Amino acid sequence: MMDKQYLIVGNWKMNKTPSQSSAFVQTLIPEVETGNFVEGLSLAICPPFTALDCVAELLKDSKIALGAQNLCAAVEGAFTGEISAAMLRDLRVSYVIIGHSERRTIFQESDALIHQKVKIAQAHGLTPILCVGETLEEREAGRAQAVVQRQITLALESITDPRCVIAYEPVWAIGTGKTATVDIAQAMHAFIRGLLTEQFGKDGSDMHILYGGSMKVNNAAELLAQPDITGGLIGGASLIAEDFIGIAQCAR
Ligand code: PEP
């Protein structure tokens, strides 16, 4: 059996200017080089758009991959303020976060728009990190699985390319300091695994399913030890190099 492969991704959200990002990455790189990481662990960071260029340059010879936090659902044209998949590829971006709960709620992104973004990302060689997750109200109403199933089914409708990462991020756990219990997280990850194998067959069992929502150094090890949790999408804790590395070191 192949050893478990992990992916740990930092989502910086709207934090760090280009100069702050460069300084941060310059501290992160040597820590990663000497960080005593296991085989099969991949790391990625998702800075704001304005820092992608300078961070891409710094990451050129490192093992850390670069991700973006969003992209436009259109190829190019009159979309003032938007960033296209081709623009991201040109900056050596590999991953793109799509459908983060902050985009779904604050910017009213629909399942249909998220589906378009997944398609355009894959068509340009970017790996989507598709975020799904229920609100507290939906969980308390017993609808958590139904919500996650709807988000995944609509976002991945007619998608056949398994190069896609899913991040299960219960909305009530994001930035709140409230982490899902390992049982809640593992149960939802197993449910998602079932949906992926239904759609992608054997490839579905190798797709990454990350947990996101107040993952920290003190809870990462037990979450990452769960059979269907293959990594983490880290918000707050990814802004501190020591914490981000500490979480990554829990992946073994
Ligand atoms: C996120 O926004 O993707 C996230 C998981 O944030 P935090 O780790 O801060 O809860």
Q: What is the pLDDT of residue 124?
A: 98
In a domain, residue 150? The reply is yes
Question: Regarding beta strands 6-11 and 41-46, do their DSSP bridges make them parallel or antiparallel, or are they unpaired?
Answer: parallel
In a domain, residue 164? The reply is yes
Q: What is the pLDDT of residue 1?
A: 45
In a domain, residue 36? The reply is no
Domain count, the chain: 1
Distance CA 160, CA 183 (A): 30
Nearest CA to ligand 1 atom 1: 235
In a domain, residue 114? The reply is yes
Q: What is the pLDDT of residue 232?
A: 98
172-211 residue pLDDT tens: 998 888 888 999 999 999 999 999 999 999 999 999 999 9
Q: What is the pLDDT of residue 57?
A: 97
Residue 158 has pLDDT above 90, yes or no: yes
Exposed/middle/buried for 80, CB within 10 Å: 0-12, 13-18, 19+? exposed
In a domain, residue 158? The reply is yes
Nearest CA to ligand 1 atom 6: 235
pLDDT above 90 covers what percent of the chain? 90
In a domain, residue 212? The reply is yes
> Which ligand 1 atom is nearest residue 216's CA?
8
pLDDT tier at 33 (50, 70, 90 boundaries)? Answer: confident
CATH number of the domain residue 183 falls in: 3.20.20.70
Q: Ligand 1 pocket: which residues have CB below 6 Å?
A: 11, 169, 174-175, 212-215, 233-237
Residue 37 has pLDDT above 80, yes or no: no
Nearest CA to ligand 1 atom 7: 235
Give the pTM.
Answer: 0.96
Q: Which of these, 100, 112, 49, lies nearest to 233 by C-alpha position?
A: 100
In a domain, residue 1? The reply is no
Q: What is the pLDDT of residue 195?
A: 98
Q: What is the pLDDT of residue 220?
A: 97
Question: Which are the catalytic amino acids?
Answer: 100, 169
Among 174, 223, 240, which residue has the most ligand 1 atoms within 8 Å of its CB, making it the best to mutate?
A: 174
Can you give the residue range of the structural domain that contains 175? 6-31+41-72+81-249
Quick one: average pLDDT of 119-130? 98
Q: What is the mean pLDDT of the chain?
A: 95
Among 96, 103, 215, which residue has the most ligand 1 atoms within 8 Å of its CB, making it the best to mutate?
A: 215
How far apart are the CA of 213 and the centre of ligand 1, in A? 5
Distance CA 244, CA 238 (A): 5
Residue 83 has pLDDT above 50, yes or no: yes
- Per-residue 3-state assignment (H helix, E strand, C coil) for 97-145: EECCHHHHHCCCCCHHHHHHHHHHHHHCCCEEEEEECCCHHHHHCCCHH
In a domain, residue 109? The reply is yes
Does residue 121 contact residue 128 with C-beta atoms inside 8 Å? yes
233-245 residue pLDDT tens: 999 999 999 999 9
